[in-house]
Amino acid sequence: MRTILVLCESGYWHDLRSGLNQVGISFLGFDKKKPNRFEIEQLVAKADFVVMRNVNVAHHSVRFAKEACKATNTPFWISHNFGVETIINHFNETFPEESVHLARKASQAKNTKPPRKTIHSKTTKDKAEAQLITKSLSQKHKHLPLKNILKDIQISDEPDFEKMFKKKH
């Protein structure tokens, strides 16, 4: 059984731990504000693969883990954001003889819309009212009074501004 050390926020550990346990990989996690180099070196020595998230994790812990991985020849991967599938993909690239795959859940349609409920009217009067309402909502309202008023106004092509603004002596 291989072991993966993950340096990320402890809030993500439950999902990562459960996902990695499904495929038979044990999980080690590290998330401390003030990391201890010796503690990180011990965890890297226990791990077969190290994954580091360099967002919201103490930069010293990433640096210490990277140095420990290079010293012990432990493969590592650094990223901003990742999930279980991404970790498993990088693990498979590093250890092709393992070939670990996450079992897919039953196919779920993510963007399925619930069927529309149709309201059936009991009487023909209700049906007629419903049709009238939908017809009136779908039509665009025209401003006929404004259109009629503007029809009577005529504008000449080029107004003579000199005549309009000339003072009479």
What are 140-164's pLDDT values in tens digits?
A: 656 667 667 777 777 666 767 777 7
Q: What is the mean pLDDT of residues 59-78?
A: 86
DSSP labels, 45-103? HH-SEEEEE-SSS-HHHHHHHHHHHHHHT--EEEESS--HHHHHHHHHHH-TTT---PP
Whose CA is closest to 4, among 53, 37, 63?
53
pLDDT at position 115, please?
61
Per the listing, tokens 């795959």 go with 101
Assign 128 to helix, strand or coil. helix
pLDDT at position 62, please?
83
pLDDT at position 107, please?
45
Please check the confidence at residue 137 and state whether its pLDDT lies above 70: no
- Mean pLDDT across the chain, nearest whole number? 76
Q: 3-state SS string over 15-58?
A: HHHHHHHHCCCEEEEECCCCCCHHHHHHHHHHCCEEEEECCCCC
pLDDT digits (tens, 9 = 90+) for 11-44: 778 888 888 888 888 888 888 878 888 988 998 8
pLDDT digits (tens, 9 = 90+) for 108-120: 445 566 666 555 5
* Strand-strand pairing, 49-53 and 76-79: parallel
Please check the confidence at residue 135 and state whether its pLDDT lies above 70: no
Q: Residue 4's beta-bridge partner residues?
A: 27, 49
Q: What is the mean pLDDT of residues 91-95?
A: 82
pLDDT at position 106, please?
44
